[in-house]
Amino acid sequence: MTKLLYGLFFGAAALFTSAVPAQEPNYDEAAAGTYVLPDPLTASDGSAVTTPDDWFAKRRPELLELFGREMYGVMPGVDRSRLAFETLRTDPVAFDGKATFKEMRVYFDAPNPAPKLDLLICIPNGAEKPVPAFLVLNFQGNHTTCSDPWISISDNTEAIHTRGVDGRERRGHKKDRYPFEMIVDRGYALATGFYEDIDPDFDDQRRNGVHPLFAPFERDVPEESRAATITAWAWGLSRALDGLETIPEIDASRVTVVGHSRLGKTTLWAGANDPRFAAVVSNDSGCGGAALTRRNFGETIESINRAFPHWFCPKYKTYVGRVGELPFDQHELIALIAPRPVYVASASEDLWADPTGEFLSAYNADPVYRLLGTEGIGEAAPDPPEADAPVGAVVRYHRRTGKHDLTEYDWAQYLDFADRYLQR
């Protein structure tokens, strides 16, 4: 394909073992190396994928299976007879009457009270119902996303304290990342839940959170390919969508899943596995998310597996030092979301996440989007755009000025994106 970029991975990574010093990160574009990207439109048997039927019947299932088996862990099924949803409280006059807050509890193993996910849902009162929605997991509890004292403090204090956060004193601490009022003013609902409600963010050998629920679905899955933590979070996002489907005021067929950083990795994997998500947003997701793995820039497959061994399945760690042997790269993860809209965003100062590598993934997913009859990335050039200058169409990208964060500027772009593709 003309849009595939070529090069050679620069230098061999050290063996993945705690006894070997970690490599210094490379931030020199000239040393990012050259490489050959796998062609998303060439099947593993070498045959060309030339029609949408070829993609959906053969190549897409093949890629989805590869990403599960070799990287994230195989996505488990769900026993829907054990799911339950309960509306705990409602505040119909949030933001001076503009919106209604709901607190919903998603039970993953009813009638057992845990594990569960508490969702904070904000629905615009003045918009025509049902409304489209954004779904986003948060890092420190629902009460940190908004300063409204009505919002319950997360009862998952063990997980919050594990991350060094005094939850009761952090109300509204991260409200700038979740502009509820801006979103409802545009006619959208916003739903958020604490990600560690689903699975704790530390290496617990898959003992806690939702992992025990996966056992019936993993009897035939090799231990090295069983669901890791990113897969658990992605599975939980789908269960949150199950919950939104029960709310009449929300149009669950028009839900955009948004994720920042490690949760941006999660949203891409969730969107690849669950076609009910109408659109997917990856914000500063970096290595293991939108950034190309084959580039030697910023965070690498070695460093991410050293720091966060629980995020990916054990099989992924075997590619440390042999990244060129990966049977896929992250542009193909984005392609798995096609033809649905996907937005990839970076930050100019977030070199660890490799903004150029994130753009190149979006750019090289374009052939699949074109095959499926969409505009793909539109007329975007093969070089990353200037800061604060979004490019693309159904596949869209921007590099915001600033640091690793989720900002009002980012949300403004995502709202415009949703206006274009999800408003009736």
Total residues found in the chain within this entry: 424
For the segment 190-248, what is each residue's pLDDT rounded down to a tens digit?
999 999 999 999 999 999 999 999 999 999 999 999 999 999 999 999 999 999 999 99
Clarify whether 331 is annotated catalytic: no
CA angle 286–291–295, rounded 5-degree value:
115
Q: What tokens does 324 get?
A: 């060129």
Q: Average pLDDT in the 397-404 region? A: 98
For the segment 317-335, what is each residue's pLDDT rounded down to a tens digit?
999 999 999 999 999 999 9
For the segment 107-158, what is each residue's pLDDT rounded down to a tens digit?
999 999 999 999 999 999 999 999 999 999 999 999 999 999 999 998 775 5
pLDDT at 158: 57
> pLDDT at residue 17 above 60?
no
Q: Which pTM value belongs to this model? A: 0.93
CA angle 49–255–116, rounded 5-degree value:
110
Alpha carbons 344 and 286: distance in angstroms, whole number: 10
> pLDDT at residue 162 above 80?
no
Name the catalytic one among 143, 173, 211, 261: 261
Alpha carbons 244 and 373: distance in angstroms, whole number: 30
Q: Average pLDDT in the 279-299 region? A: 98
For the segment 37-96, what is each residue's pLDDT rounded down to a tens digit?
999 999 999 999 999 999 999 999 999 999 999 999 999 999 999 999 999 999 999 999
147 contact partners, CB below 8 Å, separation of at least 6: 171, 172, 175
pLDDT at 242: 98
Q: Where are the domains positioned within the chain? A: 80-421
Clarify whether 404 is annotated catalytic: yes
Does the domain spanning 80-421 belong to CATH 3.40.50.1820? yes
Q: Average pLDDT in the 149-174 region? A: 72
Q: How many CA atoms lie within 13 A of 146 on its CB side?
A: 22
